[in-house]
Amino acid sequence: MSQQTYHITTFGCQMNKADSERMAGVLETLGYAAAEDEFVADLVLYNTCTIRDNAEQKVYSYLGRQAKRKHDNPALKIVVAGCVAQQQGEQLLRRVPEVDLVMGPQYVNRLADLLAQVEAGNQVAMTEPTHILEDITKPRRDSDITAWVNVIYGCNERCTYCIVPSVRGLEQSRTPEAIRQEIETLGRAGFKEITLLGQNIDAYGRDLKTNLAALLRYIHDVDGIERIRFATSHPRYFTEELIATCAELPKLCEHFHIPFQAGNNEVLKRMRRGYTHERYRDIIALVRSYMPDASITADAIVAFPGETEAQFEETLQLIRDIEFDAVNTAAYSPRPGTPAATWEEQLSEAVKSDRLQRINRAVAQSAAARSQRYLGRIEEVLVEAANPKRPDQVSGRTRSNRMVFFEGDLQRWRGQLVPVEIREARAFSLSGQLMASPTLQAVG
Ligand code: SAH
Ligand code: SF4
Ligand code: F3S
């Protein structure tokens, strides 16, 4: 029998990307090989996202096509993992009976056992809340330069718009020892940059009587790792101790993703975010007092139920005042089981799309203004890939996470930190020229 193949399609956030890499690792351990084409693979896995309604709808359209394929090829295995799987559970099996396995995010490390049940002829839905097992499998990572490292799972907040707590479960921190061990393995394998992951990463350690600042100190000296990042931070837990620690540790990159969601206090209160816009501004000011050049990015929601035009304008004002490097924006989408979805003051699609366009314009202006500061500077770039639009160019990121393109040979520079003089600045990317490299200097 020829080797069985698999294909994974990943929707949603970095947490899902990290989970997909672990599930790919499990599948390869079981003897599956990666297939390029999802309509040829013997096993297809959709790792799903339900943060907004359109994210969920996408999954059903993909599943429909695979269900048809299964009628001609009954051996095809269809797996639905991630947040839609968690939210729908057995309902999903009823809606798309061709699906073999529905598994919530807490079961990622148990994929092998669940597939064994499928092989035994069962249709399986596994979404009971459970303790996440320490990952003993080897993930198949998409990159060999940068890696995700899970640090805290779940979310204990209850933002009134958000479905995440009900699909990702309660907070569960990994132990500092397990995290350090994973990072040491990455360092030995030649990885240069890690991003520590959590829904609210700065809440790390509350269940272990430690915190993120202590974890950063504990992992900072791992050999081989040159850059450390973390995301996503919740303003409520972003302490001065954490800021001071980031400023002090040389490998800690000066980029912080701290969503604000809205710029009006009444809206923030109804979102149940637990801070005011004044408090948010104070945190950013504190970050900049320690690290004047820090990049700040965020998430924001427009057209939350009942948001007035004047309240929305306060969000625009916050964006202009802070000058963000980037902001992920979205129109509010009602999610099942969340309080805000039942409120009467839902806004029309017309208001949503108008506000989304206006906020995106403000974000682009703010990002373009922030990009100007790089002109003429020499930035350290970690080279990762080719520029898909210009094969003679390579791409990488600054410590502040801006994408940079420059002329160069990918084979030569891939995985290296090189100095690049910035000559052109666009809102979300930069172009420049490679400076005489440290290695060349050593030779000359
Ligand atoms: N834990 C992080 C955010 C994780 S969810 C935090 O609280 O900051 C990622 C982003 O999705 C959120 O920041 C929010 O901007 C967006 N989001 C969540 N629920 C949404 C909804 N119902 N409609 C639109 N956007 C939503
Ligand atoms: Fe959702 Fe709020 Fe938790 Fe973030 S903190 S994941 S927005 S409930
Ligand atoms: Fe989506 Fe789940 Fe992440 S809902 S944003 S994949 S936590």
- pLDDT given for residue 229 in this prediction: 98
Q: Which of 42, 72, 43, 57 is nearest to 11 (CA)?
A: 57
Ligand 3 site, CB within 6 A: 12-13, 15-16, 49-51, 82-83, 164, 167-168
When pLDDT is averaged across residues 77-92 and rounded to a whole number, the result is 96
**Do 100 and 184 fall into the same domain?**
no
Q: Tell me the pLDDT tens digit for each residue of 386-423.
A: 999 998 999 999 999 999 999 999 999 999 999 999 99
How far does residue 99's CA lie from ligand 2's centre (Å)? Answer: 29
- pLDDT given for residue 440 in this prediction: 44
Distance in angstroms (rounded) separating the CA atoms of residues 366 and 326: 8
Which of 126, 156, 178 is the endpoint of a domain?
126
Q: Is the CB of 164 under 6 A from ligand 1?
A: yes
**Do 227 and 355 fall into the same domain?**
yes
Please name which ligand lies nearest the alpha carbon of 304.
1
**Do 266 and 289 fall into the same domain?**
yes
- pLDDT given for residue 1 in this prediction: 64
Provide the 3-class DSSP secondary structure of residue 8: strand
H or E stretch at 362? helix 349-371
Q: Look at residue 135 and tell me if it is in a domain.
A: no
The yes-or-no verdict on residue 314 having pLDDT over 90 is yes
* Two structure tokens written together for 308: 């007035």
Please name which ligand lies nearest the alpha carbon of 56.
3
Q: Atom 1 of ligand 3 has which residue's CA nearest to it?
A: 49
DSSP codes of every residue in 114-183: HHHHHHTT--EEE----PPPP--SPP--S-SSEEEEEEEES-----TT--HHHHH-S-EEPPHHHHHHHH
Q: Is the CB of 52 under 6 A from ligand 1?
A: yes
> Strand 326-331 vs strand 295-302: parallel, antiparallel, or unpaired?
parallel
How far does residue 137's CA lie from ligand 1's centre (Å)? Answer: 30
In which region does residue 325 sit, left (phi positive, over 0), alpha (psi from -120 to 50) or beta (all else)? alpha
Q: Look at residue 319 and tell me if it is in a domain.
A: yes
What pTM, to 2 d.p., does this model score?
0.95
Q: Look at residue 132 and tell me if it is in a domain.
A: no
Cβ contact 81:19 at 8 Å: yes
**Do 202 and 303 fall into the same domain?**
yes
- pLDDT given for residue 307 in this prediction: 98
Nearest atom in ligand 1 to the alpha carbon of residue 161 is 22
Percentage of the chain exceeding pLDDT 90: 94
**Do 316 and 392 fall into the same domain?**
no
Confidence of residue 436 (pLDDT cuts 50, 70, 90): confident
Please name which ligand lies nearest the alpha carbon of 85.
3
The yes-or-no verdict on residue 365 having pLDDT over 50 is yes
When pLDDT is averaged across residues 28-53 and rounded to a whole number, the result is 96
Tokens 């990049």: give the residue.
295
Q: Tell me the pLDDT tens digit for each residue of 139-180.
A: 999 999 999 999 999 999 999 999 999 999 999 999 999 999
**Do 266 and 190 fall into the same domain?**
yes
How far does residue 157's CA lie from ligand 1's centre (Å)? Answer: 12
Nearest atom in ligand 1 to the alpha carbon of residue 334 is 22
* Alpha-carbon dihedral 10, 14, 19, 22, rounded to 10 degrees: 100
- pLDDT given for residue 138 in this prediction: 86
Instruction: Give the residue numbers spanning the domain of 54.
Output: 5-126
CATH number of the domain to which 323 belongs: 3.80.30.20
Provide the 3-class DSSP secondary structure of residue 313: helix
Confidence of residue 438 (pLDDT cuts 50, 70, 90): low
Distance in angstroms (rounded) separating the CA atoms of residues 363 and 384: 26
Q: Which of 187, 197, 181 is nearest to 230 (CA)?
A: 197
Q: Look at residue 442 and tell me if it is in a domain.
A: no
Please name which ligand lies nearest the alpha carbon of 12.
3
Q: Atom 24 of ligand 1 has which residue's CA nearest to it?
A: 332
Distance in angstroms (rounded) separating the CA atoms of residues 400 and 256: 9
Q: Tell me the pLDDT tens digit for each residue of 209-248.
A: 999 999 999 999 999 999 999 999 999 999 999 999 999 9
CATH number of the domain to which 424 belongs: 2.40.50.140
**Do 121 and 237 fall into the same domain?**
no
Q: Atom 8 of ligand 1 has which residue's CA nearest to it?
A: 259
**Do 287 and 242 fall into the same domain?**
yes
Q: Tell me the pLDDT tens digit for each residue of 345-364.
A: 999 999 999 999 999 999 99
When pLDDT is averaged across residues 324-342 and rounded to a whole number, the result is 98
Q: Is the CB of 197 under 6 A from ligand 1?
A: no
Tokens 């490299």: give the residue.
437
- pLDDT given for residue 56 in this prediction: 85
Which of 329, 353, 372 is the endpoint of a domain?
372
Q: Look at residue 441 and tell me if it is in a domain.
A: no
**Do 199 and 331 fall into the same domain?**
yes
Q: Tell me the pLDDT tens digit for each residue of 277-296.
A: 999 999 999 999 999 999 99
Total of domains in the chain: 3
Q: Please give the radius of gyration of the chain, using alpha carbons only, rounded to the nearest integer.
A: 23
The yes-or-no verdict on residue 443 having pLDDT over 50 is no
**Do 363 and 389 fall into the same domain?**
no
Q: Look at residue 134 and tell me if it is in a domain.
A: no
Q: How many C-beta atoms surround the C-beta of residue 89 within 10 A?
A: 17
**Do 154 and 17 fall into the same domain?**
no
The yes-or-no verdict on residue 119 having pLDDT over 80 is yes
Whole-number mean pLDDT of the chain?
Answer: 95
Nearest atom in ligand 3 to the alpha carbon of residue 168 is 7
Cβ contact 102:90 at 8 Å: yes
Q: Look at residue 133 and tell me if it is in a domain.
A: no
**Do 43 and 174 fall into the same domain?**
no
Q: How many C-beta atoms surround the C-beta of residue 126 within 10 A?
A: 20
CATH number of the domain to which 52 belongs: 3.40.50.12160
